[in-house]
Amino acid sequence: MKALACALPHERGLPLSRWSCHDIACEAIGRGIVASISGATVWRWLSADAIRPWRYRSWIFPRDPGFQEKAGRVLDLYQGFWGGEPLGPADYVLSADEKTSIQARNRKHATLASAPGEPMRVEHEYARKGALAYLAAWDVRRAKLFGRCETATGIKPFARLVAQTMNQEPYCSAARVFWIIDNGSSHRGARCVERLHKSWPTIIPVHLPVHASWLNQIEIYFSILQRKVLTPNDFRSLTLLARRILQFQERYEHIAEPFEWKFTRDDLARVMAKLSATPIPLARAA
């Protein structure tokens, strides 16, 4: 029964994407494994071994051959090291990215505040008032934020974020400013490195491996922004949306502290070892 639950249904010739306890019970009876069994009994057996085939989690398996080394450089920066040497007092680490396609949804009835026995009520229907992009950089060690709203993402909007940040102290006179960025089209590859070095020789771009945005600390701030400002979404215009985002950025910076990042190279090595022990058929990986 456990072996059946640990196989994908389509591998057993069934037109299902995942099992339920009732499905497993029916399949076991149909295959002659047992004469009769209930879904509740199947659940008790599987629960004892924490097998839950009715649940699933999305995951992207690392396919970059240099994933561990590229990710390790970022984790070293979070720990205050670069190339095995401690960062100096004139070195700064910035984590940057874009939050794209933030919609302004004007609800067709005004949102109602909470009342005794009633939660906040938000109208389901809305009119779309457009979308904008929010670009931001987070100083990992100083808990400082720099952000701007743009009509779209791209090389030029990202360059404006970099200039907005680098034209301020202490970055404009720093010895080195590390920019941790992903592989989005606004700042991808060698050409991005060339552009940044040309304008700002002290910048050291540090690209994450592909599909590793979860290692970028700015994503933590974006999740806070999503919870505190963008949910529920009720904005009459893009102007109001942009104003709210930037006002929250200012408010958050007054109370912000560096994130307690605990994931290290050792943790990464354990994750990679676990993944390498998991066979990934080529068809499934594609």
**Residue ranges covered by each domain of the chain:** 2-48, 67-265
User: In the prediction, which pLDDT does 274 show?
Assistant: 86
CA torsion angle for 75, 142, 139, 221 (degrees, to 10)? 90
User: In the prediction, which pLDDT does 285 show?
Assistant: 40
Distance, in Å, from the CA atom of 278 to the CA atom of 11, rounded to the nearest integer, reads 18
3-class SS of residue 73: helix
Yes or no: say if 186 and 196 are a contact pair by the CB < 8 Å rule: no
Consecutive H or E run containing 27: helix 21-30
| CATH level 3 topology of 67-265 | Nucleotidyltransferase; domain 5 (3.30.420)
User: In the prediction, which pLDDT does 280 show?
Assistant: 54
Yes or no: say if 132 and 149 are a contact pair by the CB < 8 Å rule: yes
In 169-279, which residue ranges form alpha helices assigned H by DSSP?
189-199, 218-228, 238-255, 265-276
User: In the prediction, which pLDDT does 279 show?
Assistant: 59
| Cα Rg, the chain, nearest whole Å | 24
User: In the prediction, which pLDDT does 59 show?
Assistant: 79
Distance, in Å, from the CA atom of 178 to the CA atom of 241, rounded to the nearest integer, reads 30
Measuring CA to CA, how many Å separate 80 from each of 58, 86, 144, 177? 32, 6, 17, 13
User: In the prediction, which pLDDT does 47 show?
Assistant: 95
Yes or no: say if 141 and 259 are a contact pair by the CB < 8 Å rule: no
**Where are the extended beta strands (E) located within the chain?**
81-82, 85-86, 91-107, 126-139, 144-150, 176-181, 203-207
Measuring CA to CA, how many Å separate 31 from each of 6, 27, 40, 43, 100? 16, 6, 19, 18, 50
pTM across the whole model: 0.84
Residues forming beta bridges with residue 95, ordered by sequence position: 138, 180
Q: Which token pair is 23?
A: 């499905």
The pLDDT averaged over each successive group of 10 residues in the chain (286 residues) is 94 94 96 95 96 90 89 97 96 98 96 94 96 98 97 97 98 98 94 95 96 94 97 96 98 96 95 78 42
